Amino acid sequence: MSYNETRFRVRYAETDQMGIVYHANYLIWMELGRVEYCRARGLRYRDIEEQDGIRMAVVEAKCRFVSPARYDDEIIVRTEIEKAHQRLVRFGYRILHAEENRLLAEGTTTHLFLDRNMRPARLPEKYLSCFGIVR
């Protein structure tokens, strides 16, 4: 499977009193990685929602913390699709310290495709390739 890398620096506001990145920020970074993964494949979240009424509801999120990140560290979020079909997609993430190539955290998010009425829906054909779904 192919992956996408998103790079940024830890902002001061993302750290706690100990100077370490607060744990909830890793989920935000996963979202950043997921959005940029899709964008790199020609899909904007806004378009799929506005044009087709499809939502990607998070139904499960997991994160295993390995090593701390600190203010001003350069971070890489490596995002890939682990599993996908027309009703569900699971993204995998490896969050790395860019300079040291040190694993900071790894995790997954699983998303169910929903329609405008928040009912399970099938992903429209035009988006299948973005998610690596072959019919």
- Look up the CATH number of the domain holding residue 74: 3.10.129.10
pTM value is 0.94
Q: What is the pLDDT of residues 122-134, one digit of tens each?
A: 999 999 998 988 8
Which residue carries 């701390």 as its tokens? 68
* Residues of the chain scoring pLDDT < 50: none
Total number of domains constituting the chain: 1
Where are any strands of DSSP class E within the chain?
Answer: 3-9, 55-65, 74-85, 88-97, 102-114
**Active centre residues (catalytic):** 16
**Could you tell me where the beta strands, DSSP code E, fall in 10-73?**
55-65
Instruction: Provide the residue range defining the domain that includes 64.
Output: 3-131
How much is the pLDDT for 1?
58
